[in-house]
Amino acid sequence: MGEEKKLGIVVVGASGDLAQKKVIPALFALFCQGYLPPDFHLYGMARSDFDSEGFRRKIAENLTCRYTPGEASCADRTEAFLSRCHYCQGQYSSSDSFLDLFQLMREQEGDGPVNRIFYMAIPPTVFLDVARALGDSGLVACGDRDEWSRIVIEKPFGRDRETSDILIREMQKVFSEDMTYRIDHYLGKEIVQNLMVLRFANLIFEPLWSRAYIRSIHIRWAEPVGVGQRTGYFNGFGIIRDVMQNHLLQIMSLLAMDRPVKFDAREIRDAKVQLLKAIRPLSLDDLVVGQYGASESGRQSSYVAEPMVPSDSLVPTYAAALLKINNSRWDGVPFFIEAGKALEERINEVRIRFHEVPGHLWGDQQARVEANELVIRIQPDEAITLKIMNKVPGLDLKLARTDLNLRYQSAFNALIPEAYECLLLDVIQGDRNLFIRADELAAAWDVFTPVLHQMEAGKIAPELYPYGSRGPEAARQLARRYGFFGSDLP
């Protein structure tokens, strides 16, 4: 259960989508389950014109009582939660605005030590303004008293290694590394957290987990919709920075890292950094970029027809990258990672393909032996499937690859928490293992920074693919070049 000390959570940018749809509902879910201390308050801060009552009405639109079903308890919990929510209108770069916020906090909390979380639910262009104004206002506890302050920031953390380093350095003038929680919300997903358990709590996988038994790994992230409302942001970043450099690389590092010495934040992150440093910087030859055009029916328009996107934009909405790890465990194993918008389906999954069984005991086609495959589906419908060979029942000898299937919803009769619930609880409890450390971020940027610069300097044009399709054909060619074939082709 939560700590008993007073807790003030400040959501900066509280009028925005992330705050309203993810962060505040996740805090409500923690509140309903008793994970917040009794003396907690939530403060929204943004430029938009609300008073606390208007802010509460806005919050109420997105609260659901999945942990406290039943009309009466839902209404009670909602009312109790909302009574602890307050709003302070202000400017992000103004320390006076944060002093106003401080005044509001003191009115609610009275004297005595209060732990504080500052959640930056704002565009990255204002991160530094807020951090500096917070520093100038004296609102950040420095850890020399009986209280702490923590800051939570969302990706994107810079645009490349250099801008990321600058952001880290400047933020650290106000918030030390120990106070900083860099969120990649993929790490809060149940099944992503399960990757370590799957690998290190089951004897059967680890001995096979290397080039000796694994032929290739494919990590795929696909969305059936285009960029939607977020074109302004997306056109400044593109799919490599938006999805690959963070979500997919994080999944890859959990899949491929060595066993940490201990299950604690420092050791886990050390193991991830070691793996990230062993990934060779991506080369242009091993990268395919695409951009969606109009759908074949003409009903969905192209990326460049989206509002705020320049008609000559070269920003990729799809990328496929072949990553190589330079260590003894993974040398020669291709990691094909793929992310795209406006594709034919919504899916995020990992396919681990094993080598074929050596020697052919059954020679004919009927009894063809296919390689094993472990499929981890992150979304939708979390599942783990092991594809294994079996004899098809009958008098003749026929083999078929069939699924050993674990579907989360039916295997665990429990509510699967939202990623933000888990991550926010970790921030409150000071558990840092699911957050990105500064050196981890630097190592992740080192994989992609050179190729991003080459692409931008060379004005590399992305291959157009129709909205709702499988993506660019060049990605299949890249996969073939690295030994993917037949039904194994991504």
Ligand X SMILES: NC(=O)c1ccc[n+]([C@@H]2O[C@H](COP(=O)([O-])OP(=O)(O)OC[C@H]3O[C@@H](n4cnc5c(N)ncnc54)[C@H](OP(=O)(O)O)[C@@H]3O)[C@@H](O)[C@H]2O)c1
Q: Which residues are catalytic?
A: 247
Distances (CA, A) of 195 to 143, 374, 446: 34, 12, 24
Candidate ranges 14-22, 77-85, 204-212, 379-387; the one touching ligand X (CB under 6 A): 14-22
Cβ contact 295:468 at 8 Å: yes
Q: Which of 19, 451 has the CB closer to ligand X? A: 19
Candidate ranges 54-62, 121-129, 352-360, 395-403; the one touching ligand X (CB under 6 A): 121-129
Candidate ranges 43-51, 144-152, 218-226, 444-452; the one touching ligand X (CB under 6 A): 43-51
Count residues binding ligand X (CB under 6 A): 21
**Interface with ligand X, residue 16, by CB under 6 A:** yes
Cβ contact 67:29 at 8 Å: yes
What proportions of the chain, in percent to the nearest 5, are helix, strand and coil? 40, 20, 40
Strands 180-183, 335-340: pairing is: unpaired
**Interface with ligand X, residue 15, by CB under 6 A:** yes
**Interface with ligand X, residue 59, by CB under 6 A:** no
Residue 157 CB, nearest distance to ligand X (Å)? 10
* Helix 438-457, helix 265-278: angle, nearest 10: 30
Residue 129 CB, nearest distance to ligand X (Å)? 8
Distances (CA, A) of 89 to 51, 267, 386: 8, 41, 53
Binding mask 131-170 for ligand X (x = CB under 6 A): -----------------------xxx--------------
DSSP string, 255-267: HHSPPPSSSSHHH
Residue 237 CB, nearest distance to ligand X (Å)? 8
Q: Which of 216, 317 has the CB closer to ligand X? A: 317
**Interface with ligand X, residue 122, by CB under 6 A:** yes
**Interface with ligand X, residue 47, by CB under 6 A:** yes
**Interface with ligand X, residue 18, by CB under 6 A:** yes
Residue 43 CB, nearest distance to ligand X (Å)? 14
Nearest by Cα to 423 from 198, 44, 155: 155
**Interface with ligand X, residue 17, by CB under 6 A:** yes
DSSP 348: E
Residue 156 CB, nearest distance to ligand X (Å)? 6
**Which three-class secondary structure state does DSSP give residue 9?**
strand
Q: Which of 123, 135, 450, 466 is the binder for ligand X (CB under 6 A)?
A: 123
Q: Which of 382, 418 has the CB closer to ligand X? A: 418
d(CA 3, CA 6): 8
Q: Which of 126, 208, 375, 388 is the binder for ligand X (CB under 6 A)?
A: 126
Candidate ranges 98-106, 124-132, 201-209, 262-270; the one touching ligand X (CB under 6 A): 124-132
DSSP 199: H
Residue 159 CB, nearest distance to ligand X (Å)? 12
For 222, how many CA atoms within 13 A lie in the half-sphere containing its CB?
Answer: 24
**Interface with ligand X, residue 46, by CB under 6 A:** yes
Q: Which of residues 78-117 bind ligand X (CB under 6 A)?
A: 92
d(CA 50, CA 39): 24
**Interface with ligand X, residue 48, by CB under 6 A:** yes
Nearest by Cα to 93 from 119, 132, 123, 120: 132
Six-digit token string for 109: 């909390």
Residue nearest to ligand X (CB): 16
Cβ contact 374:256 at 8 Å: no
Nearest by Cα to 197 from 206, 210, 186: 206
Q: Cβ contacts of residue 394 below 8 Å, gap of 6+?
A: none
Q: Which of 121, 271 has the CB closer to ligand X? A: 121
Residue 93 CB, nearest distance to ligand X (Å)? 9
Q: Which of 227, 278 has the CB closer to ligand X? A: 227
d(CA 56, CA 46): 14
Interface ranges with ligand X (CB under 6 A): 13, 15-19, 22, 46-48, 92, 121-126, 154-156, 233
